[in-house]
C-alpha cells in the first residue's frame, strides 16, 4: 500500500540509508536489530520509536533491553523526507521495514520484497519488552519465537544476522571467567578464541563502569561487516560469543540446520530473506487500527 500510494518511498529510504552507510559501516547491523526488536516485542508497529504516549508510562525505548539500539535519528530523517513527498501516507513501521531491507542489501545479500501497509501503534510500554538474553534457557527462547509465529528453523535462520554487529562484554564475559563453579571458562568456547576475547574483555570489576560499558567485540571475527553464513561456521568452531547461539550446535532440534547452513550459504541466504519477510508480518496493524504518524517519535 505504501509503495502504491507513495511510489518513491523505497528509493527515498534506499538513498538515505546508503548515504548514511558510507559514514557508518556498522549501520546495517544496527538497523536489522532495530527492526527485529520492534517486531518481536508486540509486532511491527513502530512502538519502539515513540518518546512518550498518552498513558505517560515508560516507553519501549526506555527499557534496559533497548539501551543499545540506535538509528532513531536516521528514521527521523527518512520520515521527514517522506512526509515532504507524501504527507501522512507512509507509516513509520513501513519505513523501519524498508530500512532493514536496505541494511540487508548493504551488508551483502540481495534485496528482498517488503510488503507494506503497516500502521503505527499509539501505545508503547517498557514493560512489554521481554526479549530473551544470551543466558535465557533455550526452551524459553524457542517458546518466545513460537508465540510470535516464528518456527525453530526460522529462529536458526534469523540468528545468521549475528554475522554482523557487536556484543558488549557484559553479554558473554561470564563464559570466560565465571561459567560455573567447576569450570570458570565455558568448555564450548574455543580456547584460543577465549584468550583473544579476554584481552578486550578483562575480568568484571577490573575496569571502571564507564570504560567497561564501551568494551565490545565483533560477533563474527572473520567477516564482521558482511551478512553471510560465517555465523554458522563460527558456531561449529566454538567461536560463538553468545551462549544462546552456541547451544544451537548441540541441541538436536537445531544442530542439523547449523551444519547445513555452514556448508550451503546460498540456501541460508534464500531462507533468511523469507524469514525477514515473515518476521515483518508479526502482529501488524492494518485497516483503522493504529495510525500513520506525522512524527515517528510522537502519536498524532
- In the annotated binding site, the residues are 38, 41, 43, 45, 47, 132, 162, 220, 223, 228
CA–CA separation, 211 and 90 (whole Å): 41
CA–CA separation, 254 and 236 (whole Å): 12
DSSP string, 233-252: HHHHTT--SSHHHHHHHHST
CA–CA separation, 257 and 148 (whole Å): 21
CA–CA separation, 130 and 126 (whole Å): 9
> What element of type H or E holds 156?
helix 152-158
Binding-site residue ranges for substrate = 132
Residue with cell 584468550: 195
Residue 102 to residues 71, 81, 119, 232, Cα–Cα distance (Å): 13, 17, 20, 23
For 39, the 3-state DSSP assignment is helix
Binding-site residue ranges for Ca(2+) = 38, 41, 43, 45, 47, 220, 223, 228
- Contact in structure between 109 and 43 (CB atoms under 8 Å): no
Known active-site residue 37: yes
- Contact in structure between 29 and 107 (CB atoms under 8 Å): yes
Report CA torsion sign: 81, 82, 86, 89.
negative
168 strand-pairing partners? 216
Query: C-alpha cell of 178?
Result: 565465571
Binding-site residue ranges for heme b = 162
> Which of the 8 DSSP states describes residue 46?
S
For 128, the 3-state DSSP assignment is helix
Catalytic residue, from 21, 37, 230, 231: name it. 37
> Which of the 8 DSSP states describes residue 38?
H
Q: Catalytic site residues?
A: 37
Amino acid at each position: 500500500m505504501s509503495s502504491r500510494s507513495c511510489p518513491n518511498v523505497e528509493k527515498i529510504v534506499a538513498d538515505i540509508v546508503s548515504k548514511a552507510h558510507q559514514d557508518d559501516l556498522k549501520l546495517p547491523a544496527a538497523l536489522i536489530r532495530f527492526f527485529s526488536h520492534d517486531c518481536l516485542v508486540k509486532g511491527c508497529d513502530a512502538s519502539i520509536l515513540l518518546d512518550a504516549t498518552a498513558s505517560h508510562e515508560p516507553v519501549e525505548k526506555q527499557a534496559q533491553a533497548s539501551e543499545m539500539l540506535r538509528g532513531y535519528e536516521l528514521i527521523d530523517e527518512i520520515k521527514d523526507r517522506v512526509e515532504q513527498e507524501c504527507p501522512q501516507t507512509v507509516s513509520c513501521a513501513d519505513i523501519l521495514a524498508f530500512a532493514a531491507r536496505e541494511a540487508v542489501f548493504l551488508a551483502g545479500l540481495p534485496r528482498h520484497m517488503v510488503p507494506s501497509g503497516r500502521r503505527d501503534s499509539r501505545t508503547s510500554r517498557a514493560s512489554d519488552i521481554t526479549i530473551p538474553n544470551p543466558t535465557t534457557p533455550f526452551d524459553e527462547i524457542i517458546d518466545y519465537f513460537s508465540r510470535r509465529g516464528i518456527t525453530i528453523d526460522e529462529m536458526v535462520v534469523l540468528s545468521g544476522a549475528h554475522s554482523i554487529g557487536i556484543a558488549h562484554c557484559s553479554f558473554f564475559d561470564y563464559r570466560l571467567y565465571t561459567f560455573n563453579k567447576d569450570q570458570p571458562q565455558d568448555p564450548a568456547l574455543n580456547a584460543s578464541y577465549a584468550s583473544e576475547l579476554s584481552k578486550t574483555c578483562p575480568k568484571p570489576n577490573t575496569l571502571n563502569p564507564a570504560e567497561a560499558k564501551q568494551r565490545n567485540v565483533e560477533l563474527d571475527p572473520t567477516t564482521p561487516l558482511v551478512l553471510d553464513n560465517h555465523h554458522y561456521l563460527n558456531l561449529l568452531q566454538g567461536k560463538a560469543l553468545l551462549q544462546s547461539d552456541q547451544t544451537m550446535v548441540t541441541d538436536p532440534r537445531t544442530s542439523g540446520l547449523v551444519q547445513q547452513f555452514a556448508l550451503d550459504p546460498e540456501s541460508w541466504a534464500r531462507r533468511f530473506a523469507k524469514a525477514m519477510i515473515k518476521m515483518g508480518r508479526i502482529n501488524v496493524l492494518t485497516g483503522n487500527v493504529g495510525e500513520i504518524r506525522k512524527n515517528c517519535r510522537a502519536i498524532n
